[in-house]
Structure 1
């Protein structure tokens, strides 16, 4: 469909159809100020707003929905949005944490919000390393929350070793960071969960 046909389609679609459209890897970037997006926000249909939060290619729209929604499901959808090129909530491009915002998020977020954020593939190796080494803004997290985030990171794709001799990245630093995460994570995890045997893909309580 052309841009004009796409807009006409979305203007006359049901919430389910709108959700499926944004879910299906659409190629159009609708900016936050676009009249169609403003209409969707004004209409306040939860399913449509979840579609925008989770699948929008415009990060300003995602951030707006997170900041202005009191609905946990929409906030979780926004935190899980990984359609951006390295963009991540509470970080400036390319991955520098906004200290105050990260600390505020950790102090107030629910566990479902933790999962969405820390399992987002854009929460990269460098950010995992900062967390594991307790660098700012992760230096003073209370133990229970730190453990909760560790559990979330188990399912972050950047937590696992990705490379071997026949499959190396183009630059050495990418390999270095990924290798460091795969070595450091088990050590930190064992420190906080000493009664669990850690394997790369599973936990076995003993």
Structure 2
């Protein structure tokens, strides 16, 4: 549960933050794990939002502090390559525990991969989310750079990846309109396997690794 940087009203943000804190406090005292909130987010920075970056940073900082207070993973969102450094700096300034669990949502060819590398090194208990958008890109040069990045980091990827559906947004190439979200997840895994090994032989191994990482991150 969290406040997306693109979808909050600055005039009502204090009420929204209070509501979020109240929900987290209630969840914290629930004994039944099936009814507990498992993470804070997705939260972060977004260049397409109507709110300005200072407003987004304020809301992000509050959510980082809540995740830290309630010992919950933080799901991160960033849209805008130039904002990755600002977001990373914000996290480092507020989270000193290198073992804090993070899930950086929606990594693809539009991401600032240099910052993602720094982030993964800074926080060994962090994960990166892959969804259908990894299978295509608007900029050919960036897309090839992303594929090379995947190949070079393939030895540790199984330990750090989480497959996402984010249905119905940003589906894999050739999947549009109504489709089975599971098909999108499998398509992303097939693409990853083919990019790294040249075949789909590691598809289910990657999915299995993702499932293990999800269970570990969210204490499921």
User: TM-score, normalised on structure 1?
Assistant: 0.38
Report the structure, 1 or 2, having the larger strand content.
Answer: 2
TM-score (norm: length of structure 2):
0.37
Q: Point out which structure has higher relative CO (alpha carbons under 8 A, 6+ apart).
A: 2
